[in-house]
Each structure stands twice: as C-alpha cells, then as structure tokens.
A and B are shown apart, each in its own frame.
Chain A
Amino acid sequence: MKKQSIYFISLSVFIVLIFYLPPCSWSQLVIGQYEDEAPFRTWNSFGFATATSLGRGETAFTLASDSSVALVNPALLPLLPKMTVTLNSSFSSALFFKYSLVNTGVLHSTENLALGIYAIDFAGIAFRLKKWTFALVAAAAESYDRPPAVAEYMENGILLYKLSLSQEGILRVMNFSAGHKINDWLYAGLGLNFCSGYLKREMTDHWERPTIDITDRISQDFRGFFLNGGFLFNISAKLRTALVFQTPYKKKSKSQSFLNYSAPARQTEITIKAASEDTYKQPFVLGIGGSYAFSQKFNLALDLTYYNWSSYSVEYFEEQLTRNFKNILKIGAGVEYINFFRLFGQRFDNPLRAGLVIDSQPMEEPNSYYLYFSLGIGIRWKNLSLDLGSFSGKEKGSGDNLSGRKVALSLSYRI
C-alpha cells in the first residue's frame, strides 16, 4: 500500500511536469547588462545541466548521471555504465528588460519582453574502451537571442515611421573527453572543447514621406578552443569530493558591420562598412564539489563554482570595450532520493530530486544574483531513463523583481 502510494504520487508529479512545458525559463538581463554578447539568462555557462542535474540544483561535480559529465567533470566518466547515450531538450523563455536599444533610451517598453527558445540542446555518448572511458558530446552552451522589437508610428492609418530590431545567435560546444580510474579513491579526466557559433543583429529605421532607410547590421562568427578537466576523490564509501576546472580561452570572432543610409528621392546612398577579428577573453573557471551518500538511495550534493570574471575583456571592432565585472561564486546544492516500484512485473527506478542554486552575476553594478529552487523526477526501466528537471526562482539586486524558470527533459540509454 505504501509503495503503491509512492508510485501514484511519483507518476502524478511526473505527468504534471511533462505537461508543464510552457514558459519555463523566466529571467532577464539585469541593469547594466545590455551588451549584445550577454548570453541568454545567465553569464555563467560552465558545463551543461541536463534535466538530471538541473533537478538537484545543477550539481554535477561528483554524481555521474549521464554523458553530460564530460562537460562538467570528465573524471566521472569511468563511473558511467559501459555505454551511455544522452539526449536533452529544453524549453526556455526569458524576460528581457534592457538590451540593445530597448529600455536604454530609444524604445521604451512598459513591461519586460519575453522570448521563448525550444532546442535539442545536448547530445552525447560515453563509452568504455579497456581502462579508459571516452565521451563525445555536443551542446548548445549559450544563446544570444533577443526578443525582436518593432515600433511603428502611424498617422491616419498610414505608416510614417518604423523601427525594428532583431538579434539571434548561438554558441555550440563540441567536447571530446577521456576519464580514467587511477585507483579506488582517485579518478581523473580531461576534455578538449571546440566552440563555434554566430551572432547576428540588425536594426532598421524606415521613414515615409520622404522615404529614408537606415540599416545597421552586425554579423559575427565565433570560434574557440579550451580544456576542461577534473578529479574525483572517493574519500570514503559515502563521501566524495571533486575538483574541476575550465581553462580561460579566447572566443574569437570574425566580425562584419554594415551601416547604410538610403534616400532614393535624392539618390543618396551612404555606407560605412567594417570588418575585424575580435576577441572575447573568457574567464578561468574552478569548481569544488562534494557529495554524501546517506544510503544507496539517498545522496546529498554541493557544488561551488568560481568564475574569474574580472579577467573578462572584449575587443570589438578593434576597440577594447569596458565590462566592469567582478569574480563570482556560484553555489548549487541538491538532494536525490532513488525510489523504486514495480509495474507489470517490471522494476522501475524513480529518482526524485530537489535543489537550490545561487547564481551570482558578474556585473559590479548592480550586485545581482538569481536564487533558484529546483525539482526533478525521473523514471528508469532497464537501460532506459527519462528525466525531467526544472528550476524556478527570482533575481535579487536589480530592484526589478525578476524571476526565472526552466524545464528540461532528457533521455538516456545505458548498456
């Protein structure tokens, strides 16, 4: 009776979460953070949180859940089964307040603007060959999308002026990692990461009577390479600790700009073009984590991640741009309880997760951070597991009472 109750509760929660897909990631760029290169939702994009780790407060330094550990701590790879394939998708929507010309002087919105993104954002495989475990994963690490903005001025039903802004972009990471069990208490891993992506921004002003068009277009192609790695220490049968890192790297950009003024009535055509090799110097990331297994079913985890954001610098069209950033510490804590039940004579594992994230943002002004509460649930049957994770929370510091939520669904196949 007791097991049946747990089963029904778990199943109900699972179904509710499955249907709880729309707006799942509410957040925004905070004051002083209206730079084009600011990633969607948060600046801190070390590793990747699939639904599994998302549910337990984005903790992943010491708990090997799926092949995404390659991006976080490749030392965990030997703890995975012989082969693990993972696919993750998420739906995120974010609220934006200040970005580009919106709420910074030109276009004024009465409320935050929302943007939703659905993506298959992670796929990876980890497999063991003799004493080594390798992983090959691909992830959409950052998005530079912004809500499109359009303003129109009409008079007597006739359009006299229109201003429009669009921006989109993505940064993908391809990772090849290897992990090795050195002895019973020490594991080590290293990953090679190639990132690539783009950012496109276009703004147009259009006047009628007479017709004048101004087009301002920026295109950037990103490339970069960095290493990540980690160590796992089995202090005891119940206690694990980990040390992880990501090297600083230069996200290089081939950038082009196109600024054009056009007044056909006078055949006036003025264009200013530019091309440059730009650099975004990304910070060094260092993390320590620990987990304690109260039993085989019940784990507690804590991850601390240090981002050396004060070293962040931007060279944009051959100009050194100022970003007043400070070093920050991101804190994630979570619990995982693995329940099980039987259905049609089959055994199903049913992990339940909860967590807390304090995601500090690097801007000096305002001193801003997100406080998230996360929940997760999963179901495992034989080699297959399906996990759902979400977080929900609020931003503090900007005074705008911002909030954030996200939902991710991941599927793993293990042999």
Chain B
Amino acid sequence: MKESVYGERLVKRRAILVLLFIFLCPQLPFELQSFEETEIISVVKSASLVKRLQEIGLDLLLELNNRIYIVATPSDLEHLRVENIPFLFETTKFYPFSQKELFPQGGINGKYHSYRELREELSDLQKRYPRQAKVYILGDSLEKRHIYALKISDNVALDEEEAEVLFLGCHHAREWISVEVPLLFGKYLLENYDQSPEVKQLVDQSEIWLVPLVNPDGLEYSIHFYRYWRKNRRLNSDGSYGVDLNRNYGYKWAYDDTGSSPLPYSAVYRGIAPFSEPETKAIQDLFLKKDFQVLITYHSFSQVILYPWGYTKEPAKEHDKLQQIAAKMAEYIQQVNGNFYEYGQSGQTLYLTNGDTTDWAYGTSSIPSYTIELPPVDELSGGFFNSEEEIDRIFQENLPAMLYLVNFSIQNYESQKSSVSLVQTIDKGTSIR
C-alpha cells in the first residue's frame, strides 16, 4: 500500500517534469511569426518635446494644427507612457492606414480584379442593369474558367441592327490594368445611361461588347504564383508552360520567327496552330458571329496606340485611315491630363508581331483595330505594375477615346448605309465625355 502511494507520487513528479519537457521540445526547431501592429498617435507640438521624441527614436509622421503625428509601435507607446508624454490615438483619422480602407477588396491583388471578382462584378452589373447589360460565356479556358463577355446595349437581349464594337483586355496575364480599363468602361456606360443623354444615345445606337479577361488562367497564375507571368497555362510538349495568346490568332500566324516564336518556352510562343488555344478560339467564335465595326485590345505598358500591320513594316492598305483614328484617340487622351500616347503602325512603332489580335481583325474583316498599350511609359516607371490609385486615372484618360471610337463606329455603320466617305466619318466622331 505504502509502495503504491510512493509510486503514484513518483509518477506525478515525473509527469510534471515531462510536461515541461513536452511543451518545450517540439517548439525548438520551429519559428513563430507575429506582426507588430502600429498606431498613429499625436502629441502637442513643442520644441523641447520634438527633441525628446527624436531622442527616443520615434517615427514622426507629420505636423498638423500644432500637433505632431507619430507612427508608434506598442513598445513606443509604452515608452511614451513611461516618459509621461500625453498622446492621443489618431489612427482612425488616417483611413489609408486602417486595414479595411487599405484593402477594400481584401484580395491579394488589391483593387485589381481576379477572375472571381470579375465574375461577380459582371454578374452584379447584369443584375443592376438587366435591360442594358447581359453577360455571355464565350467559352472556357484550359483550366475550365469561363471567358466572359459583357454586352451593353438598349434591348440588350436582342440582336439589333446596330454598330457593334469590341473591347478586349488581358491577353497577357501580368497586364492587370488591361482588365480594369474595359471593365470600368462598361460600368461607366451603365451607371451613366440614365443620367447622360449622350451616353444613352451611344448605348442605344450600338452594341458594345467587352471581354475584360481573355486569359483567366494566366491572370490567376500571375496573382498567386508569379506576378510577371505572360502566357496562358498550356502545358507544352517540352514541359514548359504557356502559349502567347497574342501570337495565336489566325492571320499571318507563324509568318516568321521574329514576330513570334516556334519554341514552346519562349515568351512569344505562338502555339502549335492558329487558334489552338481555347481562349483565342472563344474570341474568334464571337468575332465570326458578329459584325464588329471596330476592335480595341488593351495591353500594357508603353503608352502607345498601335494599328496593323504588326507582322510587317509595310503599311496597311488603309494606313492613313488607321492613323487618323489613332491620332484622334491620342488627342482625346492627351486632353484629359496631358498624358501623350504615341501612335503608329505596330510593326514600325514597337516591334514585329505575327498572329496578333489586331492583324487578324483587320486582315480578315478590314475593320479598324487597335492595340492600346496602357501606362506606364517605360519599365522604370513601373513596367507591368500600376499602383492601385492609378487605375481610375488611367481609365479616365482613356475614356474619351473609347467613347470616340464607339461614336465612330455608329457613324461608320450609318455611313456604310448611306455611303458617306470615311474621312468625313472620322471627323464626325466626337468625344462626348
């Protein structure tokens, strides 16, 4: 009996020691991670206090209304309390510093749209504007994501005898801004339909098709794995990934190996055949079903407006017409905030490309087709990065050109019926922002 009691005590003592051991042991090889939350505080401004704060090593943010604002960590706050320096919490005054305001969409890509966010936004627009907005699924990507199109028109469910315009975005995954500009254009048209007679007139007289995300798989990869991913997500025969969708269209496809590449690992790999990719096939199918008057495809970066041909330096048959429209768009863009977009024939202004969207649209349908390379102007200004704050500015500066092009299409469509000359039509196209 005594032995048994002693045995139990021994077990208990050893158990306590072992408990300590257990809690300590598996922690050893692992590192804990924590984030120190900061606050913005303010103190009354005085020369002596500024000196004391600097001695403490605090991060002074700004001076305002005789108060000094400071970014303070919990240890800084404790320091101030110890030093008996009175302060006020001001974090809520600085909305950008509160998490909710900083990340309104909460997404890893900030204010930019992911595939899911785009899908929800388009669906929401269709719900809010059922008479003017309709979402279509053009097809599925390789990884089975839908390629969505938003059609905007009066009587949107009907296929009317009206000018049709096509705006495309995000052939290249890393060009996030190219999703936003056509999407914001759609939102602008719908939100202003009832308020602006000019917008109403445009929407009533045309059928505007927006495909903001041609390459959803690539965009998701760019968001989650590698920001600078460009192509789609095709697993090529050599184990590399991706076909450059803007080299996979069917006009002068594989014209040479300068404007596109036969090598699967190349950033400009054109694929095994024209329209081999479901993403470009979806655009082709839409294009064949419609009678578009004009096409714009958005890319970034460089701040240029490009028109066919891209596969050669030889000018297109209607070069002058294409150039006039581009010049007009550049003019409208510049009028917004002085930002100048250069314009010119693709093959001469930027570099040679074959199998791209605009050559195909122009080559097969002779419609004005433009690639707009959105800001920034060069690599050092951000390259494929645009800050979240720039999204709206870039859209706003492009808006008059977009409206102009829709108006141009309407005029052109009407002129085709009444055989008015093209030059006259260009002049008639006015921005109605």
Asked if B110 and A273 sit within 8 Å, CB to CB, the answer is yes
A window 130-144: CB within 8 A of B: 136-140
Of A172, A221, A274, which one neighbours B107 at CB under 8 angstroms? A274
Of B26, B233, B379, which one neighbours A122 at CB under 8 angstroms? B26
For residue A139, which residues in chain B have a CB less than 8 angstroms away from its CB? 26
Asked if A265 and B11 sit within 8 Å, CB to CB, the answer is no
Asked if A108 and B239 sit within 8 Å, CB to CB, the answer is yes
Asked if B25 and A123 sit within 8 Å, CB to CB, the answer is yes
Asked if B22 and A268 sit within 8 Å, CB to CB, the answer is no
Among A121, A124, A127, A197, max chain B CB count under 10 A is at A127
* Minimal Cβ-Cβ distance residue in B for A210: B380
For residue B10, which residues in chain A have a CB less than 8 angstroms away from its CB? 415
A239 CA / B26 CA spacing, docked (Å): 35
* Minimal Cβ-Cβ distance residue in A for B108: A317
Among B103, B385, B387, max chain A CB count under 10 A is at B385
- Chain A residues bordering chain B, tally (CB within 8 A): 63
Asked if A125 and B109 sit within 8 Å, CB to CB, the answer is no
Chain B 361-393: CB-based contact to A (< 8 A → 1; otherwise 0): 000000000000000000111110111100000
Judged by a CB distance under 8 angstroms, whether B99 is at the interface is yes
Classify the secondary structure of B's interface with A.
loop
A window 81-104: CB within 8 A of B: 82-83, 85, 87, 100-101, 103-104
Asked if A265 and B380 sit within 8 Å, CB to CB, the answer is yes
Chain A 266-299: CB-based contact to B (< 8 A → 1; otherwise 0): 1010111111100000000000000000000000
For residue B233, which residues in chain A have a CB less than 8 angstroms away from its CB? 105
Q: Could you tell me the distance in whole angstroms from the C-beta of B256 to the nearest C-beta in chain A? A: 25
Chain B 19-42: CB-based contact to A (< 8 A → 1; otherwise 0): 101110111111111110000000
Judged by a CB distance under 8 angstroms, whether A106 is at the interface is yes
* Minimal Cβ-Cβ distance residue in A for B22: A123
Judged by a CB distance under 8 angstroms, whether A235 is at the interface is no
Q: Could you tell me the distance in whole angstroms from the C-beta of A191 to the nearest C-beta in chain B? A: 15
Judged by a CB distance under 8 angstroms, whether A308 is at the interface is no
For residue B385, which residues in chain A have a CB less than 8 angstroms away from its CB? 214, 261, 270
Of the candidate stretches A16-24, A198-206, A384-392, the one touching chain B is A198-206
Of B18, B99, B228, which one neighbours A275 at CB under 8 angstroms? B99
For residue B388, which residues in chain A have a CB less than 8 angstroms away from its CB? 272
Asked if A138 and B26 sit within 8 Å, CB to CB, the answer is yes
Asked if A274 and B110 sit within 8 Å, CB to CB, the answer is yes
Judged by a CB distance under 8 angstroms, whether A259 is at the interface is yes
Asked if A104 and B225 sit within 8 Å, CB to CB, the answer is yes
Judged by a CB distance under 8 angstroms, whether B67 is at the interface is no
Among A172, A221, A275, max chain B CB count under 10 A is at A275
Judged by a CB distance under 8 angstroms, whether A170 is at the interface is yes
Asked if A259 and B227 sit within 8 Å, CB to CB, the answer is yes
Q: Known contacts A140-B26, A263-B380: does B229 contact A105 (CB below 8 Å)? A: yes
Asked if B382 and A87 sit within 8 Å, CB to CB, the answer is no
For residue B387, which residues in chain A have a CB less than 8 angstroms away from its CB? 270-272
A211 CA / B26 CA spacing, docked (Å): 42
B window 69-92: CB within 8 A of A: none
Of A125, A140, A254, which one neighbours B18 at CB under 8 angstroms? A125
Asked if B22 and A320 sit within 8 Å, CB to CB, the answer is no
Judged by a CB distance under 8 angstroms, whether A368 is at the interface is no
* Minimal Cβ-Cβ distance residue in A for B15: A127
Of B25, B112, B383, which one neighbours A138 at CB under 8 angstroms? B25
Judged by a CB distance under 8 angstroms, whether A318 is at the interface is yes
Of B23, B116, B380, which one neighbours A212 at CB under 8 angstroms? B380
Asked if A318 and B107 sit within 8 Å, CB to CB, the answer is yes
A window 284-337: CB within 8 A of B: 316-320
A139 CA / B382 CA spacing, docked (Å): 46
Q: Known contacts A87-B25, A270-B386, A273-B103: does B227 contact A216 (CB below 8 Å)? A: yes
Asked if A319 and B107 sit within 8 Å, CB to CB, the answer is yes
Asked if A123 and B21 sit within 8 Å, CB to CB, the answer is yes
* Minimal Cβ-Cβ distance residue in B for A205: B228
* Minimal Cβ-Cβ distance residue in A for B103: A274
Judged by a CB distance under 8 angstroms, whether B226 is at the interface is yes
Q: Could you tell me the distance in whole angstroms from the C-beta of A301 to the nearest C-beta in chain B? A: 27
Judged by a CB distance under 8 angstroms, whether A120 is at the interface is yes
For residue A118, which residues in chain B have a CB less than 8 angstroms away from its CB? 29
- Chain B residues bordering chain A, tally (CB within 8 A): 56
Q: Could you tell me the distance in whole angstroms from the C-beta of A71 to the nearest C-beta in chain B? A: 12
Asked if B114 and A319 sit within 8 Å, CB to CB, the answer is yes
Chain A 398-415: CB-based contact to B (< 8 A → 1; otherwise 0): 000000000000000001
Judged by a CB distance under 8 angstroms, whether A166 is at the interface is no
Chain B 261-293: CB-based contact to A (< 8 A → 1; otherwise 0): 000010000000000000000000000000000
Judged by a CB distance under 8 angstroms, whether A65 is at the interface is no
A136 CA / B229 CA spacing, docked (Å): 47
Q: Known contacts A122-B26, A319-B107: does B379 contact A219 (CB below 8 Å)? A: no
Q: Could you tell me the distance in whole angstroms from the C-beta of A402 to the nearest C-beta in chain B? A: 16
Judged by a CB distance under 8 angstroms, whether A256 is at the interface is yes
Q: Could you tell me the distance in whole angstroms from the C-beta of B252 to the nearest C-beta in chain A? A: 27
For residue A415, which residues in chain B have a CB less than 8 angstroms away from its CB? 7, 10-11, 14
Q: Could you tell me the distance in whole angstroms from the C-beta of A176 to the nearest C-beta in chain B? A: 11
Judged by a CB distance under 8 angstroms, whether B197 is at the interface is no
Asked if A276 and B380 sit within 8 Å, CB to CB, the answer is no
Asked if A268 and B35 sit within 8 Å, CB to CB, the answer is no
Judged by a CB distance under 8 angstroms, whether B169 is at the interface is no
A268 CA / B105 CA spacing, docked (Å): 24
Asked if A317 and B26 sit within 8 Å, CB to CB, the answer is no
Judged by a CB distance under 8 angstroms, whether A257 is at the interface is yes
Asked if B241 and A105 sit within 8 Å, CB to CB, the answer is yes
For residue B21, which residues in chain A have a CB less than 8 angstroms away from its CB? 123
Asked if A120 and B226 sit within 8 Å, CB to CB, the answer is no
Of B15, B110, B114, B383, which one neighbours A83 at CB under 8 angstroms? B15
Q: Known contacts A138-B25, A170-B30: does B242 contact A257 (CB below 8 Å)? A: no
Asked if B26 and A257 sit within 8 Å, CB to CB, the answer is no
Of A123, A263, A274, which one neighbours B108 at CB under 8 angstroms? A274
Asked if A136 and B22 sit within 8 Å, CB to CB, the answer is yes
Asked if B240 and A105 sit within 8 Å, CB to CB, the answer is yes
Judged by a CB distance under 8 angstroms, whether B340 is at the interface is no
For residue B117, which residues in chain A have a CB less than 8 angstroms away from its CB? 319
A172 CA / B23 CA spacing, docked (Å): 11
For residue A105, which residues in chain B have a CB less than 8 angstroms away from its CB? 221, 225-226, 229, 231, 233, 240-242
Instruction: List 5 A-B pairs, minimum CB-CB distance, nearest first.
Output: A105-B241, A272-B110, A266-B380, A261-B385, A317-B108
Q: List 10 A-B contacts (CB under 8 A).
A: A103-B239, A106-B229, A120-B25, A200-B33, A214-B227, A254-B35, A272-B387, A276-B103, A317-B107, A415-B14
Residues of A whose CB lies within 8 Å of any CB of B are 82-83, 85, 87, 100-101, 103-106, 108, 118-125, 127-128, 136-140, 168, 170, 172, 197-198, 200, 203, 205, 210, 212, 214, 216, 218-219, 221, 254, 256-257, 259, 261, 263, 265-266, 268, 270-276, 316-320, 415
In the complex, given contacts A122-B26, A168-B31, A268-B382, what are 12 additional A-B residue pairs having Cβ atoms less than 8 angstroms apart?
A: A103-B239, A136-B19, A139-B26, A172-B26, A219-B35, A259-B227, A266-B381, A268-B380, A270-B387, A271-B387, A272-B109, A274-B109
